[in-house]
Chain A
Amino acid sequence: MSESKSEYLDLPIPELVAKVRNQEVTAEFLVNQSLELIKANQDYHAILDVNQSALDQAKAIDKAIADGETLGVLSGVPFIAKDNFLTKNTKTTAASKMLDNFQAPYQASAIDKLEAAGAIMVAKANLDEFAHGSSTENSAYGPTKNPHDSSKVPGGSSGGSAAAVALNITPFALGTDTGGSIRLPASFCGVVGYKPTYGLVSRYGVIAMASSTDVIGPITRSVSDSAYVLDVLAGQDVNDSTTIKRQDSYLINQDGNKKRDLKGIKFGIIKEHLEMIEDKDVLANIKAAIDKLKAAGADIKEVSLSNSEASLPVYYILAPAEISSNLARYDGVKYGFSSKQAKDLLDTYLLSRGSGFGSESIRRILTGTYVLSSGYQDAYYKQAQKVRSLIVKEYEDIFADVDFLIGPTAATTAFDLGAKPDPISMYKSDYMTIAANLAGIPAISIPSGNVGNLPVGLQLQGPQGQDKQLLDVAHVIGELI
């Protein structure tokens, strides 16, 4: 891993903001540092486009501070957004040839909120095309490489965002998580990835993939930074009718020297997940982490998510179905790639979509079309929706018994680029993350040391709507392991 040293960008976000506010460092300096780090780390291909207005935005913040204005809680903090967020000052491609030159006419609510709090978006990050993938290899612009070992994938689909944070280019990045796309890359890159409760963060202006499971979340170096960014992002939005009420605060209480323990907190380990760990060193790592929890007084028991194995097939019916519907908007007419060879309207659709979409997106759209077509809908789509109900119910029963779930984020550490050429073996990378999306519950991946030179991720899951509680306990565990 190349060293990306910056005495400021390494700081916890609240400390960094304090230094900007008291004029110890300027926002302009921080943005310049991030831009230099983007250049220095080009070989990892984490970045697709740079915001040419970022320095001007930074100067405006510095001027406002010099003029004595009170500014937001993210004043001067550079960040990176996955390239499926619509943004005013860069292109938005979703890593697809379909949107090669797309300039969004409006901006995502999440970006607006961060900018209103004083954060500065410096760049857009690479991803699997339309977030379809688990390794960032499906990007039409080429894969991102893992900062810990450039022969490995960073995980996906938010691989560029996770790699950028691991490289210390910015203190945080935004990702999206439909079946594990924040947590898996966080696990593979050794950073924190937070998937909030479904509906907690507005998705207005984010390119839709599977609307019933898509969420937005932060990727950071620490749990407390994730909580800090979530505190800005969370809340209802009139432009997104699926948003839910937020909790009062997500900030981690930094209670000085007072060591917190885990006495009386009940954790469940999903036994089906432990059994699926392929790498014995990863298993040993997770077991060692759990032993530390026990030593800190946690009450730990094995639980069963008996429909665990069904969660992947449920997802790979429901997500393609929703994808086939959501991606119908790329018609070669309103915006996006349009074939110039087309002679009539039907040709416009067929030729534009046939050459604009990459192979994984086409596979998913066709799978979705199949499971929704007459004659197959009941056997596939409706049956998957019913099994989804069983998974939701099973989680409810588990959380009646334990407070949180703990286990691995993935069955392995980062795998080799090109190691999973067939679709199903790639889909299985999300085995441990996907059920949380189906149930809409919050989940987080935190670093749990390394196996060799590659990071391992520990996943925690909590009941729906209890994001604050989950972040608090993840913070304690993060300090412990």
Chain B
Amino acid sequence: MNKIKDSDIKHLGVLARIGIDEAIAKELAPQLMDILDYVSRLQSIDTSGVEITSQVTGLVGIWREDEVKPSLISREELLSNTLETEGGYIKVRKVL
């Protein structure tokens, strides 16, 4: 049984960079606990000696030639959805 408290939800929110207030944390805690309980049933399956699967294509080492190609998207287009820009750069709020 995974015990998930409201404070755990707020901590996960900080890790995931999602601001979560008290009311939402209260709502999410039992839901997340249910989800984790549900998926925990996998722990009873014997997987000793089993390798992990992270992808199913069987493709490895897909590279392209290391050639410089012109960008098909202009700087202006790429920045067109940004809230604040200055001199062709993205402006962010202070870090420290």
Contacts and interface: CB of A to CB of B under 8 A. Distances in A.
A313 B41 contact: yes
B17 to A, nearest CB: 4
B52 A386 contact: yes
B6 interface: no
Interface in A286-312: 307, 310
A349 interface: yes
Contacts, number: 170
Interface string A84-123: 0000000000000000011101100000000000000000
B1 interface: no
Contacts of A334: 81-82, 90
B47 A353 contact: no
A385 B52 CA distance: 5
A379 B72 contact: no
Interface string B1-44: 00000000100111111111100100010011011101111110
Contact of A385 (B28, B35, B53, B95): B53
A152 to B, nearest CB: 25
A387 interface: yes
A113 to B, nearest CB: 16
B12 A370 contact: yes
Interface in B42-77: 42-43, 45, 47, 50-57, 59, 62, 64, 72-73, 77
A440 interface: yes
A198 B18 contact: no
Contact of B36 (A102, A324, A357, A367): A367
A464 B40 CA distance: 29
B49 to A, nearest CB: 9
B61 to A, nearest CB: 10
A390 interface: yes
Given A103-B80, A105-B81, A342 B59 contact: no
Contacts of B40: 313, 380
Contacts of B52: 382, 385-386, 388-389
A366 B93 contact: no
A343 B92 CA distance: 10
A106 B16 contact: no
B77 A105 contact: yes
Interface string A358-379: 0000110111111101000001
Interface stretch (A17-25, A238-246, A254-262, A452-460): A238-246
A224 B64 CA distance: 35
A313 B95 contact: no
Given A314-B42, A387-B47, A363 B28 contact: yes
A317 interface: yes
Nearest to B81: A335
A316 B18 contact: no
Given A102-B81, A334-B81, A366-B12, A392 B34 contact: no
20 contacts: A103-B81, A105-B80, A313-B38, A313-B40, A317-B39, A333-B90, A342-B93, A350-B19, A354-B18, A363-B28, A369-B12, A369-B16, A371-B39, A373-B12, A379-B43, A380-B39, A383-B47, A386-B47, A387-B45, A422-B34
Interface of A: 101-103, 105-106, 198-199, 212, 238, 241-242, 244, 307, 310, 313-314, 316-317, 324, 328, 331, 333-336, 338, 342-351, 353-355, 357, 362-363, 365-371, 373, 379-380, 382-390, 392, 422-424, 427, 438-440, 464
Interface of B: 9, 12-21, 24, 28, 31-32, 34-36, 38-43, 45, 47, 50-57, 59, 62, 64, 72-73, 77-78, 80-83, 90, 92-96
Q: Closest 9 CB pairs between A and B?
A: A354-B19, A440-B56, A350-B19, A335-B81, A385-B52, A386-B47, A349-B17, A105-B77, A241-B62
